[in-house]
């Protein structure tokens, strides 16, 4: 029983550290955030911080790696399906992931470092679709492949931009409604 309580305490401490870091990142550049700032904002000791992270960059890395890892894992579930023809099942999983801690991800997307993170995420998803999945059966020659590459870039860029605007409060509705609308628009326009 003591192990379970310790585990829950560690999860709670890490969550407090991550939230404090992201809230500080809304106020100033990553490089200007110190461990002292984080522990004061989180209401924890330096020892608690260092029990979980080596430095603030470890916090950033964990947030990025966790987010990218989950999205890539969801992509792996769709290896055999042309995700560009019907992105809805994949995007529903992504939306569900974000909705599990929507407040946190809303903060992440609005930090000063978000554009770099979003760019890396977009590039990883594009690379995974183009290089880690089967090319659709309809692609028979170099010209069709080039058009497929353009389509992948367009769709990943569009959904990334729409999600970013939604997290920034620029679009109404729920994340699920946005996902459904995006799929209706793109499936109709690209069919």
Q: pLDDT band at residue 4, thresholds of 50, 70 and 90?
A: low
Q: Do residue 8 and residue 96 come from a single domain?
A: no
Where among 53, 69, 85 does a domain terminate?
53
Q: Are 162 and 182 in contact (CB under 8 A)?
A: yes
Q: What is the token pair recorded at 47?
A: 């020892």
Mean pLDDT on 66-91: 81
Q: Do residue 115 and residue 22 come from a single domain?
A: no
Measure the CA–CA gap between 50 and 147, rounded to whole angstroms. Answer: 49
Residues spanned by the domain of 129? 60-190
Q: pLDDT band at residue 2, thresholds of 50, 70 and 90?
A: low
In degrees and rounded to multiples of 5, residue 44 shows phi and psi of -125, 175
Tens-digit pLDDT profile for residues 130-151: 887 777 778 889 999 999 899 9
Q: Are 143 and 182 in contact (CB under 8 A)?
A: no
Q: Do residue 81 and residue 64 come from a single domain?
A: yes
Nearest CA-CA partner of 179 in 121, 111, 97, 116: 97
**Location of structure tokens 């470092």:** 113
Assess whether pLDDT exceeds 80 at residue 3: no
Q: Are 73 and 150 in contact (CB under 8 A)?
A: no
Residue bearing the bigger pLDDT, 147 or 189: 147
Nearest CA-CA partner of 102 in 166, 161, 8: 166
Q: Find the angle CA(39)-CA(41)-CA(46) to the nearest 5 degrees.
A: 5
Q: How many CB atoms lie within 10 A of CB 117?
A: 17
% of the chain exceeding 90 in pLDDT: 35
- Our count of domains for the chain comes to 2
The pLDDT value recorded for residue 131 is: 86
- For residue 49, the domain's CATH number is 1.10.10
Q: Do residue 14 and residue 77 come from a single domain?
A: no
Mean pLDDT on 48-71: 89
Q: What is the rounded average pLDDT for all residues in the chain?
A: 85
Measure the CA–CA gap between 79 and 133, rounded to whole angstroms. Answer: 5
Tens-digit pLDDT profile for residues 90-104: 899 999 988 888 888
Mean pLDDT on 40-54: 93
The pLDDT value recorded for residue 133 is: 78
Q: Do residue 75 and residue 14 come from a single domain?
A: no
Q: Do residue 35 and residue 76 come from a single domain?
A: no
The pLDDT value recorded for residue 1 is: 47
% of the chain exceeding 70 in pLDDT: 92
Least confident span in 33-37, 67-71, 142-146: 67-71
Assess whether pLDDT exceeds 80 at residue 154: yes
Q: Do residue 27 and residue 1 come from a single domain?
A: yes
Please write down the HEC assignment for all residues of 38-67.
HHHHHCCCHHHHHHHCCCHHHHHHHHHHHH
Q: Do residue 70 and residue 27 come from a single domain?
A: no
The pLDDT value recorded for residue 79 is: 67
Q: Do residue 33 and residue 65 come from a single domain?
A: no
For the chain, the straight-line distance linking the first and the last C-alpha, in angstroms and rounded, comes to 55
Q: Do residue 98 and residue 182 come from a single domain?
A: yes
The pLDDT value recorded for residue 113 is: 75
Q: Do residue 79 and residue 45 come from a single domain?
A: no
Q: Do residue 165 and residue 101 come from a single domain?
A: yes
């Amino acid at each position: 029983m003591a192990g379970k309580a310790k585990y829950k305490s560690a999860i709670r401490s890490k969550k407090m550290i991550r939230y404090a870091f992201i809230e500080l990142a809304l106020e100033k550049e990553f490089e200007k955030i110190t461990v002292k700032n984080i522990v004061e904002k989180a209401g924890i000791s330096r020892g608690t911080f260092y029990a979980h992270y080596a430095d603030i960059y470890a916090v950033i890395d964990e947030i990025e790696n966790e987010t990218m890892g989950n999205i890539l894992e969801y992509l792996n579930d769709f290896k055999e399906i042309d995700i560009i023809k019907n992105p809805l099942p994949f995007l529903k999983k992504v939306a569900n992931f974000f909705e599990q801690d929507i407040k946190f991800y809303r903060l992440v997307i609005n930090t000063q470092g978000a554009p770099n993170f979003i760019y890396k995420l977009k590039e990883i998803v594009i690379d995974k679709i183009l290089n880690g999945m089967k090319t659709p059966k309809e692609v028979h020659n170099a010209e069709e492949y080039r058009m497929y590459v353009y389509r992948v870039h367009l769709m990943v860029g569009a959904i990334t931009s729409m999600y970013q605007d939604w997290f920034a409060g620029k679009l109404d509705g729920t994340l699920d409604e946005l996902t459904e609308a995006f799929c209706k628009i793109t499936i109709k326009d690209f069919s």
